[in-house]
């Protein structure tokens, strides 16, 4: 029986552990934190339950397909609810609620721009085509060599499906109203880039959003981690927490041992790192064995970091939905400040999740409210308590003016999370929130390779390799990496 050590118990590591255990590997998964889940973990305090990071559950088919591969269903583990409305946009002078039903979304669009409902049909049909082609062949490729693309009809796909124009240009071919454009551009933030450097291919995300729907696992996003953890344990995987891997000992171009923080060391035939790729290369591997230098990483376009506030309120907020996007300031200015000028955004756009609108288990009682506020900021931004406080006040004033309700004196719990916490909790490169941006030259074959070029028994999964940032890609990444290991183990 082959043995494998997985370093990092985020969603990609957990998914990989299941595939490997099913293929008769003896699997150990080690995480430095107190629980598995990585960015998809949570904390509870005084009856408030907060997810640390992800709050959007898109592409439910990816989660369902994963469990089906183990003769299970999502419903065996958690109760998934489709949100209606899907989300709400706060603009400078108007608000728009995006309903879950596509026919109702079209009506909402028509209110903003004449004939936009017909255009939306065309735009989404094209997005659907991209989604289906991607999901049925392209997304599962390990991207180790261009040769993979010769066997399937992907070259045609590259040229015909908007790979070489930006998402922004692609959207503007259909729509001219700024609000509509922004409503379709916002998913590019989930991919770590901007609408101008994200390829038009990713309008597949608009299809996933507007047709596939926005979902929520009752109990919180943490239910997903619990489900993956339980399945992994059911399959016989050994879970080890509170142990940090500090060094990978290499002999004859193979890892012979992973040294840990507490002196306990781990040996196995294979190693899969779900801890961030740059962290592993820069910190765990001796320089002569590194495929990618520090300089290489410093030149990549990395996803933003975030300033996050977790708030427990003693009162309900009337004008919020479950997901709320504040686009009441200049989107391009914000993007320019965080990606180009690399400074704190002056008047940031931000996002507020209010899970207690859907799920009373996230609050101590039905009269309380649970808020998660996320401000995208540049990775590597200076993180000081003083700056966090300035932004907290700025954001709170903006929220209060939009929802027309005083909030500050209703706060009974407050915690913040920013660049330094990303570094400390996840070993996140420059304190980024979700990995390598999916820009044109950082997509597919251009991503750091999931099989190490210099170390024979080392592999990577997660949001610095294929397919990219986000929970569904994390699941798929774990799947691709494990399939590659299973294949290589048979040679
Ligand atoms: C604030 C925020 C909001 C997000 N929102 C969404 C969303 O709404 N929807 C969505 O789909 N995605 C969202 N994402 C993205 C998504 O969470 C990530 O892309 C995904 O969870 C990454 O999974 P992973 O397995 O690659 O990495 P991680 O979850 O980071 O897992 C890596 C693990 O490795 C561990 N580790 C690191 N170093 C070591 C070491 N030396 N030894 C042992 N263990 C180690 C870490 O503790 C961590 O548990 C969000 C991310 C953030 C941060």
Structure letter (DSSP) for residue 372: E
* DSSP code per residue over 229-297: HHHHHHTT-EEEES--EEEEEEETTEEEEEEETTS-EE--SEEEE-S-HHHIIIIIS-GGG-SS-HHHH
Q: List, in order, residues 6 or more apart from 118 with CB less than 8 Å away.
A: none
Residue 149's pLDDT is 76
Mean pLDDT for the stretch of residues 175-187:
97
Q: Looking at ligand 1, which atom is closest to the CA of residue 473?
A: 19
Q: Is the pLDDT of residue 304 over 90?
A: yes
Q: Which one of 222, 264, 283, 434 would you pick to mutate in the ligand 1 pocket, going by the greatest count of ligand atoms within 8 A of its CB?
A: 434
Which residue is closest in CA terms to ligand 1's atom 6?
Answer: 54
Cα of 107 from ligand 1 centre, angstroms: 37
Cα of 259 from ligand 1 centre, angstroms: 22
* DSSP code per residue over 48-117: EEEESS---B--HHHHHHHHHTTT--GGGT--EEE-SS-EEEEESS-EEEE-SSHHHHHHHHHHHSTTHH
Mean pLDDT for the stretch of residues 150-175:
82
Phi-psi region of 261 (alpha: psi -120 to 50; beta: other; left: phi over 0): alpha
Mean pLDDT for the stretch of residues 84-89:
98
- What is the C-alpha separation between 467 and 446, in angstroms, rounded? 11
Strand 3-7 versus strand 270-273 pairing type: parallel
Read off the pLDDT band of 286 (50, 70, 90).
very high
Q: Looking at ligand 1, which atom is closest to the CA of residue 464?
A: 26
Cα of 159 from ligand 1 centre, angstroms: 32
Residue ranges of domains in the chain:
3-46+53-71+220-300+435-490, 101-210, 301-426
Read off the pLDDT band of 145 (50, 70, 90).
confident
Residue 8's pLDDT is 98
Cα of 52 from ligand 1 centre, angstroms: 10
* DSSP code per residue over 388-436: HHHHHHHHHHHHHHHHTS--GGGEEEEEEE-HHHHHHHH--GGG-SS-B
Within 10 Å of residue 256's Cβ, how many Cβ atoms? Answer: 13
Q: What is the mean pLDDT of the chain?
A: 96
Read off the pLDDT band of 152 (50, 70, 90).
low
- Nearest Cα residue to 303 out of 383, 205, 381, 378: 378
pLDDT tens readout for residues 389-406: 999 999 999 999 999 999
Which residue is closest in CA terms to ligand 1's atom 19?
Answer: 470
**What's this model's pTM, rounded to 2 decimal places?**
0.98
Cα of 115 from ligand 1 centre, angstroms: 41
Q: Looking at ligand 1, which atom is closest to the CA of residue 33?
A: 47
Pocket of ligand 1 (CB under 6 A): 7-13, 30-33, 38-40, 53-56, 244-245, 274-275, 279, 306, 308, 374, 426-427, 433-435, 462-463, 469-471, 474
Looking at per-residue confidence, does 145 or 359 come out higher? 359
CB 273 within 8 A of CB 7: yes
Q: 3-46+53-71+220-300+435-490 in CATH: which number?
A: 3.50.50.60
- Nearest Cα residue to 91 out of 206, 197, 182, 207: 182
Which residue is closest in CA terms to ligand 1's atom 15?
Answer: 470
Q: Looking at ligand 1, which atom is closest to the CA of residue 422?
A: 53
- What is the C-alpha separation between 341 and 379, in angstroms, rounded? 12
**Residue whose structure tokens are 């094209």:** 126
Cα of 471 from ligand 1 centre, angstroms: 8
pLDDT tens readout for residues 319-349: 999 999 999 999 999 999 999 999 999 999 9
């Amino acid at each position: 029986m082959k043995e494998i050590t997985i370093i990092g118990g985020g969603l990609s590591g957990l998914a990989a552990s299941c595939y490997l255990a099913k293929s008769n590997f003896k699997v150990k998964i080690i995480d430095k934190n107190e629980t598995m889940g990585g960015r998809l973990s949570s904390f509870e305090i005084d009856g408030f339950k907060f997810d640390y990071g992800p709050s959007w559950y898109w592409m439910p088919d990816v989660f369902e397909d994963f469990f089906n591969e183990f003769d299970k269903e999502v419903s065996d583990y958690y109760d998934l609810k489709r949100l209606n409305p899907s989300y709400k946009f706060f603009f400078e002078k108007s608000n728009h609620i995006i309903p879950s039903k596509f026919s109702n979304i079209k009506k909402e669009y028509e209110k903003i721009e004449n004939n936009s409902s017909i255009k939306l049909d065309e735009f989404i049909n094209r997005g659907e085509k991209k989604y289906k082609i991607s999901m049925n062949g392209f997304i599962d490729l390990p991207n180790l060599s261009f040769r993979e693309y010769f066997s399937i009809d992907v070259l045609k796909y590259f040229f015909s499906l908007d790979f070489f124009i930006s998402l922004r240009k692609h959207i503007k071919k259909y729509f001219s109203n700024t609000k509509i454009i922004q409503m379709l551009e916002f998913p590019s933030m989930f991919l770590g880039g901007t609408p101008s450097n994200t390829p038009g291919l990713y309008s597949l995300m608009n299809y996933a959003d507007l047709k596939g729907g926005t979902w929520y696992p009752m109990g919180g996003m943490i239910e997903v981690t619990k489900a993956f953890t339980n399945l992994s344990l059911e399959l016989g995987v050994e879970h080890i927490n509170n142990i940090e891997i500090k060094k990978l000992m290499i002999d004859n171009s193979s890892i012979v041992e992973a040294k840990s923080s507490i002196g306990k060391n781990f040996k196995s035939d294979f190693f899969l790192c779900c801890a961030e790729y740059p962290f592993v290369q820069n910190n765990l591997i001796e320089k002569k064995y590194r495929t990618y230098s520090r300089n290489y990483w410093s030149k990549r376009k990395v996803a933003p970091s975030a300033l996050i506030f977790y708030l427990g309120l003693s009162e309900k907020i009337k004008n919020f939905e479950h997901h709320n996007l504040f686009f009441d300031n200049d989107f391009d200015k914000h993007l320019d400040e965080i990606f180009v000028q690399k400074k704190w955004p002056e008047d940031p756009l931000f996002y507020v999740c209010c899970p207690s609108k859907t799920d009373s288990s996230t609050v101590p009682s039905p009269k309380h409210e649970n808020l998660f506020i996320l401000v995208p900021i540049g990775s590597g931004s200076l993180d000081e308590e003083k700056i966090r406080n300035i932004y907290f006040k700025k954001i709170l004033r903006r929220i209060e003016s939009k929802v027309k309700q005083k909030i500050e004196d209703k706060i009974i719990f407050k915690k913040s999370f920013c660049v330094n916490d990303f570094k400390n909790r996840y070993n996140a490169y420059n304190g980024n929130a979700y990995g390598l941006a999916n820009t044109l030259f950082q997509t597919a074959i251009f991503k750091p390779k999931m099989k190490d070029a210099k170390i024979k028994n080392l592999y990577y999964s997660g949001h610095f390799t294929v397919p990219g940032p986000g929970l569904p890609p994390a699941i798929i990444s774990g799947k691709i990496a494990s399939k590659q290991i299973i294949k290589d183990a048979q040679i």
